[in-house]
Structures are given as C-alpha cells and as structure tokens.
C-alpha cells in the first residue's frame, strides 16, 4: 500500500512540474537547482540544495510532504554517481 501511495504522489508531482511549472521557468537559468513541490496546491520552492528547498517549503507548509525535482535532470540524486540530464 505504501508503494502505491508513493507512486501516486510522485506521479502527481511530476505532472504538476511538466504541465504547470516547466512552461513558466527557465530550465537553462535554473539547471541543477532543487525544487520542492507541494502537490496539493502546486506551490513550489527553488533552492540550491535539498535541505534549503525543503526548509523554505516547510515555512509555508510545515506538515506537508514535498515532491523534489532537480531542474533539468531526471532525478534529484544518483546511486551510481551520474545524474542524467532530461531531454
């Protein structure tokens, strides 16, 4: 059951990123920055690190979970030492 919830959460976060946020931002200017997305409202917070992005987001939404995205890349972190770019 937890896997299903995480999957739906991630899917919703990615949909918000692609449909609502991506058209509004400059990927070239923000490439590599971390975005924390509050999936119920679509609000997002951009910072240079995961900790900074979550800290900023929690100031407005202290009890929420956030979908994280590294702008311009497929994943926030890599397990093999290489994070592939999108595209």
- Are 39 and 67 spatial neighbours (Cβ–Cβ below 8 Å)? yes
> Alpha-carbon distance 33 to 74, whole Å?
12
Query: How far apart, in whole angstroms, are the C-alpha atoms of residue 14 and residue 44?
Result: 12
Task: Quote the pLDDT of residue 5.
Answer: 57
pLDDT at 3 over 80: no
Domain ranges for the chain, please list them.
2-70
At 28 the pLDDT is 93
Query: Over the stretch 21-40, which tens digit does the pLDDT of each residue have?
Result: 999 999 999 999 999 999 99
Higher-confidence residue of 41 and 2: namely 41
Residue 79 has pLDDT above 70, yes or no: no
Q: What is residue 16's three-state secondary structure?
A: helix
């Amino acid at each position: 059951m937890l896997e299903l919830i995480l999957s739906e959460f991630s899917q919703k976060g990615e949909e918000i990123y692609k449909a609502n946020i991506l058209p509004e931002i400059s990927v070239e200017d923000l490439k590599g920055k971390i975005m924390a997305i509050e999936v119920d409202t679509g609000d997002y917070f951009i910072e240079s690190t995961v900790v900074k992005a979550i800290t900023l987001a929690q100031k407005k939404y202290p009890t929420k979970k956030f979908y994280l995205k590294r702008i311009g890349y497929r994943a926030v972190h890599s397990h093999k030492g290489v994070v592939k770019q999108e595209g």
